[in-house]
Structure 1
Amino acid sequence: MLIRKLFKFENAHIVRGCSTRRCSHSIHGHSYKVELILEAHAFDNGQMLYDFGLLKGGPRDLIDAFDHAVAIWDGDDADYVAACKRFSERWISLPVSPSAEQFSRLFFRLVDTLLGLTDTVNGEQDVRLHSVIVHETETGYAQCFREDADNPRMGLIALDRIVFSDAITQAWRDPQLFEKLKRGERLSNPASV
């Protein structure tokens, strides 16, 4: 069985090297929608696969980090990167270009890592991230599956190469969340939300 949770955020970026000149040469923004699709084949104590309320914690913080922020490819022009960091307190530096395709892979890596490190407390069983869909526009989206997330032909997304600005991490419920993920530290779902 699959369940889906939808998140929304506003973000700015440049996608270098793409075919559309407006997108590759001008900073611009989108109203993104992100769908997390979880899979399991057993119910928890509440006869659910995974309580949607649990996704309002760490997964929401990681996705909401991109709201009203600029996503920057760390391989972009050094002056552009410096200007983004200078003029925006909310920025994320990424090891891949911030296209919808790469966003779907990035969110898969982040949320899958978080779920894998989270101890459940309400009888959840073998819940795993099935896929992530990132809607960049009303008519266009990218969907990442497990085999895409770590595909070296699509660019490696090493967690230690992702940098969230202090303004972003300080707004999280746990400002150390991403550092804990990078260290592989075990986390636990709350008993109730």
Structure 2
Amino acid sequence: MLIRKLFRFENAHIVRNCSSDRCKRSIHGHSYQVEVLLEAHALDNGQMVYDFGLMKDDIRNLIDAFDHAVAFWDEDDADYIAACKQFSARWVALPVSPSAEQFSRVFFTLVDRALSLTDMANGEQDVRLHSVIVHETTTGYAQCFRDDIDNPRIGPIDMARVEFSEQVQEEWPDSTLWQRLQRGERKQNPVVVQQVIAKQ
């Protein structure tokens, strides 16, 4: 079974080397929608794949880090990067171009990392990230599957090169979120007291 949670954010970028002159030469913004799809072959004690409320913690905070921010490729022109950092308190440096395709891979990697480091506490079973869809416009989106992460034809994503601005980190409820995920520290979901014990 699949479930889907939708997130929204506003972001600015330049997509270098693309066909569109406007996109590759001018900073511009989009109203992004990100769909996170989880799958499982069993339900938890609440008879859910995964409680949507639990996705409002680390997963939402990682995606929200891109809201009202400038995302740039860390291999772009040094003066452009310096200007982004100087004139925007919220920015995210990426090891890939901030295209919809690469955004979907970055979000897949971020969400998968957060989910894999979460200890389930309400009878969840085999919950895993199925895919991530990033809508850049109302008519165009990119969808990333697990096979797209380590695909040598698409290229690697070095998550150690992802950098969130100080302002972004300070606005997280847990300002150590990114460092915690990089260190591989686990986090436990809240323990739920069962109100109804289902008959077998």
* Conserved? CA contact 1:9–1:33, under 8 Å: yes
Task: Return 179-188 or 31-40, whichever deviates more.
Answer: 179-188
SS, match of residue 182 in structure 1: helix
Aligned length: 192
Counterpart-to-counterpart distance in 2, 1:79 and 1:153: 30
The residue that corresponds to 1:22 in the other structure is 22
Alignment match, 2:181: 181
- 1:39 equivalent to 2:18? Answer no
Instruction: Tell me which residue corresponds to 2:131.
Output: 131
One-letter identity of the residue aligned with 2:90: R
Query: What is the CA-CA distance between 1:62 and the residue it aligns to?
Result: 0.1
Once the two structures are TM-superposed, the CA of residue 152 in structure 1 deviates from its matched residue by 3.0
* Counterpart position of 2:12: 12
Task: List aligned pairs for 1:1-193, cutoff 5 A.
Answer: 1-191=1-191
> Could you list the runs of 5+ residues in structure 1 that have no partner in the other structure?
none
2:69 is matched by which residue type in structure 1?
A: A
Residue 49 of structure 2: SS of its match in structure 1? coil
Question: 2: distance between equivalents of 1:45 and 1:160?
Answer: 36
Moved over 3 A (4+): none
Unaligned runs of 5+ in 2: 193-200
* 1:158 to partner: Cα distance: 1.7
The farther-off stretch of 132-141 and 166-175 is 166-175
Q: Structure 2-normalised TM-score?
A: 0.94
Q: TM-score of the superposition, structure 1-length normalised?
A: 0.98
Write the distance in 1 (CA, Å) between the matches of 2:174 and 2:28: 30
- TM-fit CA distance, 1:168: 0.4
- Secondary structure in structure 1 of the residue aligned to 2:53: helix
Structure showing greater Rg: 2
Give a deviation string over 1:138-161, Cα, whole Å, max 9, x none: 000000000002223223212210
1:153 aligns to what SS in structure 2? coil
State the alpha-carbon separation in 1 of the partners of residues 164 and 134 from structure 2: 20
Q: Determine the C-alpha separation between the residues in 2 that align with 1:153 and 1:165.
A: 30
Q: State whether residues 96 and 155 of structure 1, in contact with CA within 8 Å, keep that contact through their aligned partners in structure 2.
A: no
